[in-house]
């Protein structure tokens, strides 16, 4: 009996401690309260500058520094938070020529998770209100980052005609993004591509609104259906709103000549279907429709999207598209005016630019009401509370290495790639194919076999070079340029043993000084050392892409019945 009473006493005491702790929390930090109550409390505590900061989404790949196996916030990130109070970042984990992030200086999955944790920790501990960051990542056909699973592009996934497969793809993308500490996935792309001149056709699901809608909805369901309480749910961002893929002249960002009926029958339904499936973010497009930039189109972004479709998420501009309202469309005399037009039309997030920084001055000077800013901020904060970032801002970096690009994910990517292959049967010659098509296919097959043979030669080259690298009789001739036709003639000659390179006695040795002129003799002969023929062929194919031929030559061989063609070239740079 005493034991039972003691147990009840301990439980009651624990409950009182928890209740006291919760009561001492600021309301917006109290998970017991509703999302509405927490948003209202937090908004009431924010300055105008802090509110505007939540609407900014700067480029993220310069916001971290890698030291050994740890990741730390960069000085640029610290200045950003001090000066702008940014509420989210885009493409923090991205690696490509634009970002200048590579395998050497970029983030693998474990480091990406550490980077996300480090940025969150800094924001939570070093800003006045400790509002966690949103990290948005590009992910139309897999998370665009190092070491992730890559699926076929949109047009390839569309060729599967399988919503079931695409839902699985969405599930993988969501798992890989969330396990690395990011929250927002940019994709799917629901543009209807009806002009082959447009430069981004491969990103889309094609030209058909029904297929695009079905696959877009399937992707959103895989990404979490908008239920942000789920461990691996992301905020799916639909791209690009609207009629982006049919620009005049096929030029990216040009105006779209689309009628109202065409918009409602074809271009809008895929977006509506994906929003009904749970998409919580929409990205505007660069183009204009009927003279109104889509980034500043009140009818599309407020009247249709929110009032008619009951969309409850947030709208993000495309990269620098707010500046484009002033600089490209010329419908706003200043960047500040462009920012006011856009936020009033229904855009909540400024991606990559600084246009929304002008909203602080616009409010202070009475040009726009602070209530407009509050509306946009509430949409962002609501998503952060629903996702549980205030309670669980961090991820486990070790789990990222197990989840990202797992064997299961790789198998799915392979399955989707296989399913995207479409074979056409030309029954009753319905397709206008040339009768000589078999001849062309045979030529392709021969070419493929030749490529395979050359790859085998290359492997032999690597082994031969290892054996011969210390032999003084092997010399390198650099700088010879030739047309592709000549190159293939030369390769044929080397392969059948009728052509050999020989270095003239007066030519310079390997690693000579710059701008030395060389005499190269192309020599034909009857017999040739097969090993050296393979060696020459392999090394030359290794550098075919730059059409620069390298030849490794055995000078001790004797040539007979020679025809010589002399070529002179100079080089400005030593090759390694």
Which residues participate in catalysis according to the annotation?
318
Any residues with CB less than 8 A from the CB of 334 and at least 6 apart, and which? 326
CB 22 within 8 A of CB 32: yes
CB 358 within 8 A of CB 349: no
Nearest one of 360, 418, 278, 391 to 47, comparing CA atoms: 360
Question: Which helix (H) or strand (E) covers residue 43, if one does?
Answer: helix 35-45
Question: Cα–Cα–Cα angle for 396, 400, 402, nearest 5°?
Answer: 120
Burial classification of residue 473, based on how many CB atoms lie within 10 Å of its CB (0-12 exposed, 13-18 middle, 19 or more buried)? exposed
Q: Strands 64-67 and 70-73, how do they pair?
A: antiparallel
CB 501 within 8 A of CB 525: no
Nearest one of 464, 559, 461 to 502, comparing CA atoms: 559
Question: CA-to-CA distance for 544 and 542, rounded, in angstroms?
Answer: 6
Coil, helix or strand at residue 87: coil
Coil, helix or strand at residue 311: coil
Structure-block tokens of residue 198? 């447009």
Question: CA-to-CA distance for 268 and 282, rounded, in angstroms?
Answer: 12
Any residues with CB less than 8 A from the CB of 390 and at least 6 apart, and which? 28, 29, 31, 38, 132, 384
Question: CA-to-CA distance for 242 and 226, rounded, in angstroms?
Answer: 21
Nearest one of 66, 159, 149 to 105, comparing CA atoms: 66
Structure-derived torsion over alpha carbons of residues 486, 487, 493, 498, reported in degrees to the nearest 10: 80
CB 305 within 8 A of CB 279: no
Structure-block tokens of residue 348? 């909540």
Cα torsion 79, 81, 87, 88: sign: positive
Q: Strands 184-189 and 70-73, how do they pair?
A: unpaired
Structure-block tokens of residue 267? 């271009």
CB 138 within 8 A of CB 49: no
Structure-block tokens of residue 393? 């801002």
Neighbours of 367 (CB within 10 A): 13
């Amino acid at each position: 009996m005493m034991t039972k009473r003691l147990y009840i006493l301990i439980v009651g005491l624990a409950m009182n401690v928890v209740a006291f702790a919760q009561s001492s929390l600021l309301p917006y930090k109290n998970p017991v309260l509703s999302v509405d109550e927490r948003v209202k409390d937090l908004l009431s505590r924010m300055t105008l500058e802090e509110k505007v900061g939540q609407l900014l989404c700067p480029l993220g790949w310069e916001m971290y520094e890698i030291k050994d196996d740890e990741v730390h916030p960069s000085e640029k990130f610290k200045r950003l938070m001090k000066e702008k109070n940014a509420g989210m970042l885009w493409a923090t984990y991205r690696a490509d020529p634009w970002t200048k992030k590579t395998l050497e200086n970029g983030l693998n999955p474990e480091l990406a998770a550490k980077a996300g944790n480090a940025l969150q920790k800094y924001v939570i501990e070093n800003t006045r209100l400790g509002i966690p960051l949103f990290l948005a990542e590009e992910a139309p056909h897999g998370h665009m980052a190092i070491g992730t699973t890559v699926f076929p592009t949109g047009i390839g996934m569309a060729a599967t005609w399988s919503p079931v497969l695409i839902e699985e793809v969405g599930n993988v993308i969501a798992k890989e993004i969330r396990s690395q500490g990011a929250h927002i996935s940019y994709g799917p792309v629901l543009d209807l591509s009806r002009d082959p001149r447009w430069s981004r056709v491969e990103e889309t699901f094609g030209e058909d609104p029904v297929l695009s809608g079905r696959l877009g909805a399937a992707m959103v369901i895989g990404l979490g259906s908008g239920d942000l309480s789920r461990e691996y749910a992301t905020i799916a961002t639909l791209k690009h709103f609207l009629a982006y893929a049919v620009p005049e002249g096929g030029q990216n960002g040009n105006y779209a000549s689309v009628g109202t009926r065409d918009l409602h029958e074809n271009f809008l339904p895929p977006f509506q279907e994906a929003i009904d499936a749970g998409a919580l973010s929409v990205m505007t497009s660069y183009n204009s429709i009927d003279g109104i930039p889509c980034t500043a189109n009140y009818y599309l972004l407020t009247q249709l999207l929110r009032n008619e479709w009951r969309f409850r998420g947030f709208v993000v501009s495309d990269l620098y598209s707010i500046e484009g309202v002033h600089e490209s469309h010329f419908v706003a005399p200043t960047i500040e005016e462009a920012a006011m037009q856009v936020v009033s039309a229904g855009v909540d997030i400024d991606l990559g630019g600084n246009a929304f920084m002008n909203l602080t001055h616009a409010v202070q000077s009475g040009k726009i009401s602070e209530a407009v800013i509050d509306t946009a901020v509430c949409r962002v904060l609501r998503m952060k509370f629903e996702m549980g970032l205030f309670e669980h801002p961090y991820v486990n970096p070790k789990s990222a290495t197990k989840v990202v690009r797992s064997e299961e994910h790789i198998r799915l990517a392979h399955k989707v790639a296989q399913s995207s292959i479409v074979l056409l049967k030309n029954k009753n010659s319905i397709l206008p194919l040339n009768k000589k098509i078999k001849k062309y296919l045979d030529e392709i097959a021969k070419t493929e076999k030749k490529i395979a043979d050359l790859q085998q030669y290359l492997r032999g080259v690597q082994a031969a070079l290892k054996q011969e690298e210390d032999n003084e009789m092997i010399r390198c001739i650099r700088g010879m340029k030739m047309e592709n036709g000549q190159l293939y003639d030369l390769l044929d000659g080397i392969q059948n043993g009728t052509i050999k390179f020989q270095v003239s006695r007066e030519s310079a040795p390997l690693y000579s000084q710059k701008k030395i002129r060389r005499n190269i003799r192309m020599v034909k002969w009857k017999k040739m050392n097969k090993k050296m023929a393979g060696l020459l062929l392999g090394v030359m194919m290794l550098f075919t892409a730059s059409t620069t031929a390298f030849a490794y030559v055995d000078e001790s061989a004797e040539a007979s019945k020679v025809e010589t063609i002399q070529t002179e070239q100079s080089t400005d740079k030593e090759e390694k």
